[in-house]
Amino acid sequence: MEDLWSVAAAVFQLWMFVVVFLIMLPAMFGLSLGVTGVYIQVLVKILEWATVRIQRGQQEQPSVPVPLPSGIIERASGSMQEVLGQQFALSDVLFFCKKGLESIVDDQVTQRFSSEELASWNLLTRTNQNFRYISLRLTIIWGVGVFIRYGVLFPLRFTLAIIGLSWLVIGTTLVGFLPDSSVKNWLSELVHLTCYRICARGLSATVHYHNKENRPQKGGICVANHTTPIDVVILANDGCYAMVGQVHGGLLGVIQRSMVRSCPHVWFERSEMKDRHAVTSRLRAHVAAKTKLPILIFPEGTCINNTSVMMFKKGSFEIGGTIYPVAIKYDPRFGDAFWNSSKFNMVNYLLRMMTSWAIVVNVWYLPPMTLQDGEDAAQFANRVKSAIAHQGGLLDLDWNNKNSNLEY
């Protein structure tokens, strides 16, 4: 029994050494040992091999159905005359009902609120078929991948996430007791930055930042397209922001209260969120103080599935000040970053994220933009949205999510 406890203690010590010295400490200083880069390269090679093996298996087994390259339903081919014939029958009403439902379910907007379908399997679950049954080798690779993702990566990422969040709560609470000064601001930014970097490593995030000379400055407003709640972690991994959002209860509420003690985040009560003038007044006062951190806002008001940018709500562009657009694009090969809140709660979503291969994302800082002469807030919002969509290679849609009551 003593030998068993000795082995367990040795494993725990090794585990903490890896977590603290090989991952957490380099993350705190923004350093990388190169392990993640090698991991991504090996993963790309494996996925390329799996794609070739799947294509070969489809040729050898023609009965294996091919997933739909796009769309979420399969439409019957042929014209109406070919399907119905020349004579009308009462049963043809069903044909028109079917076509109408297809148009509703598979319209351009609805597709943006479901995970984008991959053309080839990434050894996860993002296609319509179970390709692991094509060959024994592919099945073995898939099984090894499940063990690595759930048995190795998930415990490691969970440990880092717990450390990062705990440190965020404790660190911001302690900094909050200090009197207002430049030292307090410096410590607050340091705590936020290091904690977000640890959390990013907990998600196995590999982020490529482009055009850093355009990073948001104090007294400005950073606006970005919105795919997932971890957009905040991705952006805050490279700089500090003042967050805007509704006051929550539970664990999230504890984190919010601790963060606001050390940094002027802008949290609103539910009743305040419905008062547009009150929101505008508080945000305008924050922007007017040029020493405060830039505000981070997602003007879409909802998460979109990494393929498009929806209409930006104009409230963010009525505040005044300089707008710093940011385009965020996730690599869909390694994991599905999109949060479908109608299908998964936050716990389930984070579990899916922590058991994916990795989170690989590109972030582009666009040149700052201001309101032009003769331009209203809605036109300004559309101009910023178009710039973000163009830079990120996203589809620029004009549809507005009227079900969202968030003006910012």
The structural domains of the chain, with segments of one domain joined by +, span 157-396
Whether 248 shows a pLDDT value over 80: the answer reads no
Query: When comparing pLDDT for 117 and 177, which is higher?
Result: 177
What would the two tokens of residue 76 be?
A: 């019957």
In angstroms, the CA 320 to CA 281 distance is 11
Q: What is the mean pLDDT of residues 223-252?
A: 86
In angstroms, the CA 220 to CA 67 distance is 45
The pTM of this model reads: 0.80
Q: What is the mean pLDDT of residues 326-338?
A: 90
Q: Residue 264: what pLDDT?
A: 81
Cβ neighbours of residue 337 closer than 8 Å, sequence gap 6 or more: 227, 228, 230, 306, 330, 353, 359, 361
Cβ neighbours of residue 261 closer than 8 Å, sequence gap 6 or more: 172, 173, 175, 176, 177
Q: Residue 113: what pLDDT?
A: 57
Q: What is the pLDDT of residues 296-319, one digit of tens each?
A: 999 888 888 888 888 888 888 888
Q: Which of 93-97, 108-112, 345-349, 383-387 has the highest average model confidence (pLDDT)?
A: 383-387
Secondary structure of residue 362 in the 3-state scheme:
strand
Q: What is the mean pLDDT of residues 196-205?
A: 86
CB atoms within 10 A of CB 102: 15
Percent of the chain with pLDDT over 90: 14
Fold classification of 157-396 is Glycerol-3-phosphate (1)-acyltransferase (3.40.1130)
Q: What is the pLDDT of residues 284-297, one digit of tens each?
A: 888 888 788 899 99
Q: Residue 70: what pLDDT?
A: 41
HEC secondary structure over 21-67: HHHHHHHHCCCCCCHHHHHHHHHHHHHHHHHHHHHHHHHHCCCCCCC
Query: When comparing pLDDT for 232 and 137, which is higher?
Result: 232
